[in-house]
Amino acid sequence: MERQILHVDVNNAFLSWTAVDMLKKGSKIDIREIPAIIGGDETKRSGIVLAKSTKAKECGVKTAETIYMAKMKCPNIKIFPSNYKIYKEYSDKLYNLLLKYTDKIERFSIDECFLDMTNYLMNDTLLNKAKEINKRVKNELGFTVNVGVANNKLLAKMASDFTKPNRVHTLFKEEIPYKMWNLPISELFMLGKKTVPKLYNMQIKTIGDLAKADLKILNKKFGKHGILMWEYANGIDNSEVKYKFEKPKGIGNSITLPQNISNIEKLEEILLILTEQVTYRLRKNNLLAKTVNVQLRTKDFEDSSHQGKLLIATSSTKEIYQKAKELLKQFYKNESIRLIGLRVDNLTDKEEVQLSLFRNEDNEKQRKLDSTLDELKQKYGFNSITRAREMNLPQNPTKWEQ
């Protein structure tokens, strides 16, 4: 099964995060909309431009040049100090939002993440998830990201570097010839600056030139690196998303509906799909949940939620879904709904929980059913098998109807 990979890259991270933090603290000016830079102390050697706004760029200001030079080009430019504490805070906020989509996240840098979505698409498409993440980051966190969509890390990274800002780009295998091969060779991921002139001397000036070059000649001149360059130029990359497991405080997911829904049975069907993914992740991480929370957002953007505790901690899809339905009925008021979410909290390691007196033969059958379905999903993909209640739902959530 092909990997489903996203690369999320914050647009102009240091300046954007500074702007969001200032607005949050009451600033009337969005420094992203004026000539502004993030810079080191101009009285020291560290006085260089670390990030610049679009207005500053239009004045000719460049990253890594001295602040003195930037002020010469743009006398009214505003200078703001770097603040790693702020950057870490907003980087963590992004990471925690992305955790709602997958547990397999590689923090490639403070402002970049790779996401392995292979078993986390939940009856949706990779492109739809990318668009949803793009919108949620802007709406909920206040800054923008580019999202690259592909079947491996290399192509996802290349795609996220296409037109900026606030864009979603795909780069699948069949798109390589017309989306990637015409780019300058210097644009190829992980290609060192010293290598570019050497390739130019070989009349290799575009990524397409490198993709079509003689592999034996590249190997002879550059060794293993030559083979790697050729593979990258052809979109070949088998590296895995390197993630570090961090025990989550809660696991949840939500869906913004393509059409407003005011039918509780339809909402219950969607809730089942959400429960499937949330409990799949619980079991995958050997965790049990004690609290269930259901969230609704109306067409008028009014949020409401209701939570309740389970009798015992569980990862059972059936038990958590039953509780979620019960909560939905308690607080749903026949409004027209545009978003529905499910979250489980009060998580406990499975090994720490002894068998309960409430466990019976039916519970054991349900546990075995969940385990069997998880194995099939792991082997054939999350969408490979669905429960009876889901059988009448379209595979693509964008086709859900009221």
Which amino acids are annotated catalytic?
112
Angle, CA of 155, 153 and 384, to the nearest 5°: 100
d(C-alpha 247, C-alpha 292), whole Å = 18
- Name, in order, each residue with C-beta under 8 angstroms of 155's C-beta and a sequence gap of 6 or more: 5, 148, 171, 172, 173, 176, 180, 235, 237
The alpha carbon of residue 34 and the mean position of all alpha carbons in its chain are separated, in whole angstroms, by: 29
Q: How many CA atoms lie within 13 A of 73 on its CB side?
A: 19
User: Which residues face 309 on adjacent strands?
Assistant: 291
Instruction: Write the burial class of residue 114 (CB in 10 Å: 0-12 exposed, 13-18 middle, 19+ buried).
Output: buried
* Element at 199 (helix H, strand E): helix 195-201
DSSP assignment of 280-334, as one string?
Answer: HHHHHTTEEEEEEEEEEEETT--EEEEEEEEEEEE--HHHHHHHHHHHHHHH--S
Tokens representing residue 78 in the block? 């505003």
Whether omega before 165 lies within 30 degrees of 0, making that bond cis, reads yes
Tokens representing residue 399 in the block? 């086709």
Chain length of the chain: 402
- Measuring CA to CA, which residue among 34, 40, 39, 79 is closest to residue 57? 34
**Residue 185 DSSP symbol:** G
d(C-alpha 199, C-alpha 233), whole Å = 13
d(C-alpha 294, C-alpha 387), whole Å = 20
